[in-house]
Structure 1
Amino acid sequence: MTLWRGKSPLILASQSRARKMLLANAGLAFEAITADIDERGIQSASGLSGPREIALLLAREKAKAVSIGHPTSYVIGADQTLALGDRLFNKPAGRAQALAQLRDLAGNSHALNSAVAVARDGKIVFEDVSVARMTMRHMTDAELMSYLDAAGDAVTTSVGAYQLEGLGIHLFERIEGDHFTILGLPLLPLLAFLRREQLIAI
């Protein structure tokens, strides 16, 4: 049974396993459609440098890109940035880059900025950004190599080279922020918006 009450299907403009899991666990039926956009190109052309603003820009662009082809649907776009001070991280290109990122993050606190935007008829009707503070423990190169061996190719699928819901939990000593923000979808404000629009049953 789905709690979705919209006349058109709810759409998630992402193939993120974590985001799909969060929506499904919340009882919402949805379609997942990848947003075909050049994220790095859009970020570069925007001139933005703040991690919060970049995450929100990309969430908006994903939602709008899919919404154009599905004008009557509510389309959810989401994006997440990782910032260590002023430095922004992207998904590592391979194991060597993942190791370099983890060396920089180990022993420090970084911020995850998770943005969500909802579009309908190609226009943004809702947006929100939530922040989580993540403190990695001090780790030796041997420990980092053991983690990379165990995690395998998964380290290249997310910024920071970790998935907190998996082996990445071993990297941390303190976490401040809600679970949904960390997984890349500010679910509570999103559900509150859908509720205000009378789109969900609860």
Structure 2
Amino acid sequence: MTQLILASASASRSALLTGAGLTHTKIPAHLDEDAIKDECLLCGHSPKSVALKLAEAKALHVSSRNPGLVLGGDQVLQLEKDLISKSHNMDEARVLLKRMSGKTHYLHAGMALAENGMIVWSQVETAEMTVRTLSDAFIDNYLAQTGNKILSSVGCYQLEGEGVHLFEAIRGDYFTVLGLPLLPLLAQLRNLKVVMA
């Protein structure tokens, strides 16, 4: 049986794999993600391509040092023409939520599988997220309720929690929003005979 390795410290990605019955080991890829992002943007890559490059870099980094099938995943948030990074504090979170209010942004979730230091498969999926118009009072209350835990999410929300209150419409796969598009991943794992077809 091929060993599946998740090249990430992400608790949500690990939980999604576990929920789907996929036994795996977590070996985080410690990379300078901002440097990779900056290099991609300098080279003119689209936000979708940046998500894919980050996922591939993580998978390759861990695969070159460990036997088994390595899954790399990453997600980027595109608001208008900008790639949004994680907020460092609650003041930055407040500014971002005000900016997202009444607008649509895009979550691009990249995945890559690597084996023996080579990419064997990669794909990116996109979810279209429309934020309702948010009042200042709502934002203040939301930040007080959620606390610092939302700083770990790029858009300052977790859809599986209180973050669902931010939205008026979502187009795309739920798993893509959570950062790991499970359906295409499972299809590829069946193709590779890692899981039963």
**Alignment TM class, shorter chain as reference:** over 0.9
CA distance in 2, matches of 1:190, 1:97: 34
CA distance in 2, matches of 1:100, 1:106: 10
**1:20 deviation in Å?**
0.7
User: Does the residue aligned with 1:62 lie in a helix, a strand or coil?
Assistant: helix
**1:201 deviation in Å?**
2.3
Which runs of 5 or more residues in structure 2 are unaligned? none
Match of 1:114 in 2: 109
Q: How high is the TM-score relative to the length of structure 1?
A: 0.94
Please point out which of 56, 71, 79 is paired with 2:52. Answer: 56
Which runs of 5 or more residues in structure 1 are unaligned? none
User: Does the residue aligned with 2:15 lie in a helix, a strand or coil?
Assistant: helix
Match of 1:99 in 2: 94
Match of 1:143 in 2: 138
The amino acid across from 2:156 in the alignment is A
CA distance in 2, matches of 1:171, 1:154: 16
CA distance in 2, matches of 1:131, 1:73: 28
Match of 2:119 in 1: 124
Match of 1:21 in 2: 15
The amino acid across from 1:32 in the alignment is K
Q: How high is the TM-score relative to the length of structure 2?
A: 0.96
Q: What is the root-mean-square deviation in Å for CA atoms of aligned residues?
A: 1.0
The amino acid across from 1:131 in the alignment is T
The 8 Å contact of residues 128 and 186 in structure 1, kept in 2 or not, is answered as no
User: Does the residue aligned with 2:14 lie in a helix, a strand or coil?
Assistant: helix
Matched, 1:134 2:153: no
Match of 1:195 in 2: 190
Match of 1:73 in 2: 68
CA distance in 2, matches of 1:42, 1:89: 14
Match of 2:37 in 1: 43
Matched, 1:171 2:166: yes
**1:50 deviation in Å?**
1.6
CA distance in 2, matches of 1:45, 1:138: 34
**1:83 deviation in Å?**
0.7
Match of 2:149 in 1: 154
How many residue pairs end up in the alignment? Answer: 195
Match of 2:180 in 1: 185
CA distance in 2, matches of 1:69, 1:82: 30
CA distance in 2, matches of 1:49, 1:199: 32
User: Does the residue aligned with 1:161 lie in a helix, a strand or coil?
Assistant: coil
CA distance in 1, matches of 2:45, 2:76: 11
**1:87 deviation in Å?**
1.2
